[in-house]
Amino acid sequence: MTKLTASLPLYDYPGELVCGVDEAGRGPLAGPVFAAAVILDPAHPIAGLRDSKKLTEARRDALAIEIKAHALAWSIAECSHHEIDAINILQASLLAMKRAVDTLPTMPTLALIDGNRCPVMTVRSIAIVGGDDKVDAISAASILAKTARDAALVVLHADYPDYAFDRHKGYPTALHLERLRLHGVSPVHRRSYAPVRRLLQEGDA
């Protein structure tokens, strides 16, 4: 793996087949972390791509459909809450990113990674801080990762309705913390995260 610095212009990689890569779900207390990789098609530009956190849920969902329909290639991968607890959330996020790139049906020659670290991959990579709001391919990956994770948390809500995963998507909101205190730690909570770990320790006391 060759890690490059972002010294090239953000929008000019002549001769490269570029994919954007981003993750979603580092902050939540429960569920997997997701990552996506997207190779956009220059012949089918998609209007309105930006950091998924700056879009409404409805707009993210609409863009996700468009990305899947018009991208040259896309892939979504995840790391489970068990893997997060075993290797920590940073390493799990990087592993999910690697899985997303590795499972693309078309292999890129260059991966643009949102953030300041690149996963260890055979594909050359550039880390771009704030890339999800600077590079369309990373924005697209951000949208696919976010919509996939939100959908997964709705599924978890069906299995564990006491925790309201469909409302807070696992993030440590007041509602989520209240439900945690009321119902205890579920099988899908990340036990290495401080609020969950504290509850488990209190239960052992």
**Which helix (DSSP H) or strand (DSSP E) does residue 76 occupy?**
strand 73-79
Q: Which residues fall within 8 angstroms of residue 51, CB to CB, at 6 or more apart?
A: 132, 133, 139, 142
Whether residue 57 lies inside any domain: the answer is: yes
| pLDDT given for residue 7 in this prediction | 42
CA atoms within 13 Å, Cβ hemisphere of 205: 6
C-alpha distances out from residue 84 to 32, 70, 79, 81, 89, Å:
8, 32, 7, 5, 5
| pLDDT given for residue 13 in this prediction | 81
Whether residue 179 lies inside any domain: the answer is: no
CATH of the domain at 47: 3.30.420.10
- Check residue 48 and give left, alpha or beta (phi > 0: left; psi -120 to 50: alpha): left
Whether the CB-CB separation of 9 and 129 falls below 8 Å is answered with: no
Q: Which residues fall within 8 angstroms of residue 174, CB to CB, at 6 or more apart?
A: none
**Which helix (DSSP H) or strand (DSSP E) does residue 18 occupy?**
strand 18-24
Whether residue 142 lies inside any domain: the answer is: yes
Residues present in the chain in total: 205
Whole-angstrom distance, CA of residue 132 vs CA of residue 52: 8
| pLDDT given for residue 184 in this prediction | 95
Whole-angstrom distance, CA of residue 106 vs CA of residue 185: 41
Whether residue 201 lies inside any domain: the answer is: no
Cβ atoms < 10 Å from Cβ of 54: 12
Whether residue 35 lies inside any domain: the answer is: yes
Whether residue 48 lies inside any domain: the answer is: yes
Whether residue 98 lies inside any domain: the answer is: yes
Domain that holds residue 102: 14-159
* Blockwise average pLDDT, block size 10, the chain, 205 residues: 43 84 98 98 93 95 98 98 98 98 97 96 94 94 98 98 97 97 97 96 69
Residues 158-167 have pLDDT tens digits of 999 999 999 9
Q: In what order do the strands lie in the sheet with 110-114?
A: 3-4, 124-128, 110-114, 18-24, 33-39, 73-79
Whether the CB-CB separation of 19 and 38 falls below 8 Å is answered with: yes
Whether residue 151 lies inside any domain: the answer is: yes
- Domain count of the fold of the chain: 1
Whether the CB-CB separation of 165 and 154 falls below 8 Å is answered with: yes
